[in-house]
Amino acid sequence: MARIVQKFGGSSVADADRIRTVAARIARTYRDGNEVAVVVSAMGDTTDELIALARQVNPDPDPRELDMLMSTGETVSATLLSMALHGLGLPAISFTAGQAGIRTDDQHRRALMTSVKPERVRRALEQGRICIITGFQGVNEAGDITTIGRGGSDPTAVAVAVALKAARCEFYKDVDGILTADPRVVPNARKLDTISHEEILELANLGAQVLHPRAVELGQVYGMPLVVRPTFNDGPGTVIQAEEAGEEAGMEQYNRVRGIAHEKGVAKVTVVGVPDRPGIAHRIFQAMADAGINVDIIVQNVSHGGVTDMSFTIAADDLGQAQRLLEPVRTAIGARDISSARGFGKVSIVGTGIQSHPGYAARMFGTLSDAGINIQMITTSDIRITCLIDEAAVEHATRALHTAFNEATAAGQAAAY
């Protein structure tokens, strides 16, 4: 017997039929003799619909009211799921985040959880009840409802699992597990049996459809085992665990590339003719940081005659704001011009150890070149190599890289470096 937290996302509880299917899934775990606490998201697109509704009555809704409104989405799914379990003859009970003791700070719409003290939940579990807890929300010091950011039910589930000292936290998704690439782009993407926290964070940050990064971080910090499993079949899913050798490990010769991530909607900004002196990069990037704009690839060219060019990438959605903020900085630092363009994307190979083995970079660039794709910028971290390319080439590049790095592996021809 174990204490298990199960999290079901919006598409797993999108309608009454699915809620009954999910209830049957929970019932099996419970009847196997486990204590089960469940965290749910709102049904389907409910949260988007509630936000749209709010904007219809007021284009700039008050954050406190919006949080209170959005929190109702999870209340609906939690109560319905509890009722469905009653229908199976099981003793379920639903709890709002407040009833489950989830405290947050005051930042409406992006609150951080400050403590989780689920006393009522613990007692109910000990009495043999299945506890259904609303994801995505908490209560601040003043007793007001907050939400913790879009997709926040994942981090709620891990926080609850940690507070309940659960054996593991299982995430039920409409995929078989963590895949080697986005299956909408790479139809023969393969499921991974295990993946490290670092690797999944890179895949998530780079746009792969997986777990919320805050959930992964909480799992890593508190040592909570996480499993991503399919909702609608009995597959074992993917276990997220501390780093170890790759799946196909054979001493030192195994393919370290675990997956291919891709992202569209990237813009490139170049500050042209920047005086080459201390403090300039700080001025430029402080302006971006103050506005909460995430800067990714940064390249500073070799300077000629005391001036240099500085290029970086941001999300295309942030470009308008960035241009407004950079114009006064440009004047202040005496740069000649700012040029910018949308229409870029990123492709990355991700895997622990790839950066310390130069063969991976060479093979990645060779693959893109064979596919006729021009690389605009390159960036690396310990566990990934990323190329900025034309947005229109992203899907082609992702498939080419998957063929080069992941399909060879699946066929047992892992490249040795």
Write out the residues near Mg ion by the rule CB under 5 A.
10, 41, 47
Pick from 64, 243, 30: nearest CA to 140: 64
Q: Which stretch binds ligand ASP (CB under 6 A): 92-100, 144-152, 202-210, 239-247?
A: 144-152
CB of 136 to Mg ion, least distance (A): 8
CB of 197 to Mg ion, least distance (A): 23
Contact 329, 338 (CB under 8 A): no
Residue of the chain from 5, 6, 10, 310 that contacts ligand ASP (CB under 6 A): 10
The DSSP string of 347-405 is EEEE-TTSTT-THHHHHHHHHHHHTT----EEEEETTEEEEEEEGGGHHHHHHHHHIII
SS3 label, residue 128: coil
Letters for 229-258 (x = contact with ligand ASP by CB under 6 A, - = none) are ------------------------------
Answer with the entry of Mg ion, ligand ASP, none that 103 interacts with (C-beta below 5 to 8 A by kind).
none
CA-derived radius of gyration, the chain: 24
CB of 135 to ligand ASP, least distance (A): 5
CA 268 – CA 296 distance, rounded (Å): 10
Q: Which stretch binds ligand ASP (CB under 6 A): 147-155, 159-167, 242-250, 388-396?
A: 147-155
Residue closer to ligand ASP, measured from CB, 9 or 259 = 9
Residue closer to ligand ASP, measured from CB, 152 or 259 = 152
**Residues in contact with 407: Cβ distance below 8 Å, sequence separation at least 6, in sequence order:** 188
Minimal CB distance to ligand ASP: which residue? 153
Answer with the entry of Mg ion, ligand ASP, none that 136 interacts with (C-beta below 5 to 8 A by kind).
ligand ASP
CA 334 – CA 349 distance, rounded (Å): 38
The CA distances from residue 353 to 8, 31, 194, 198, 414, in Å, are: 33, 43, 16, 11, 15
Residue closer to Mg ion, measured from CB, 190 or 212 = 212
145-147, strands of its sheet edge to edge: 113-116, 102-104, 137-139, 145-147
**Residues in contact with 135: Cβ distance below 8 Å, sequence separation at least 6, in sequence order:** 7, 39, 40, 41, 74, 152, 153, 154, 156, 157
CA 219 – CA 204 distance, rounded (Å): 15
Q: What are phi and psi of 268, to 5 degrees?
A: -115, 135
CB of 47 to ligand ASP, least distance (A): 4
Q: Is 153 in the site for ligand ASP (CB under 6 A)?
A: yes
CB of 52 to ligand ASP, least distance (A): 12
Ranges within 122-141 binding ligand ASP (CB under 6 A): 135-136
Ranges within 165-224 binding ligand ASP (CB under 6 A): none
Helices then strands, each counted (H, E), the chain: 12, 18
CB of 10 to Mg ion, least distance (A): 3
Q: Which stretch binds ligand ASP (CB under 6 A): 89-97, 146-154, 280-288, 310-318?
A: 146-154
Q: What are phi and psi of 34, to 5 degrees?
A: -95, 155
Residue closer to ligand ASP, measured from CB, 136 or 405 = 136
Q: Which stretch binds ligand ASP (CB under 6 A): 41-49, 113-121, 367-375, 405-413?
A: 41-49
Residue closer to ligand ASP, measured from CB, 7 or 268 = 7
User: At 166, which amino acid appears?
Assistant: A
Minimal CB distance to Mg ion: which residue? 10
CB of 152 to ligand ASP, least distance (A): 5
Pick from 169, 85, 165: nearest CA to 122: 165
CB of 163 to ligand ASP, least distance (A): 18
Q: Is 150 in the site for ligand ASP (CB under 6 A)?
A: yes
Letters for 63-102 (x = contact with ligand ASP by CB under 6 A, - = none) are ----------x-----------------------------
Sign, CA dihedral 160-156-79-25, equals negative
Give contact residues for ligand ASP (rule: CB under 6 A). Answer: 9-10, 41-42, 47, 73, 135-136, 150-153
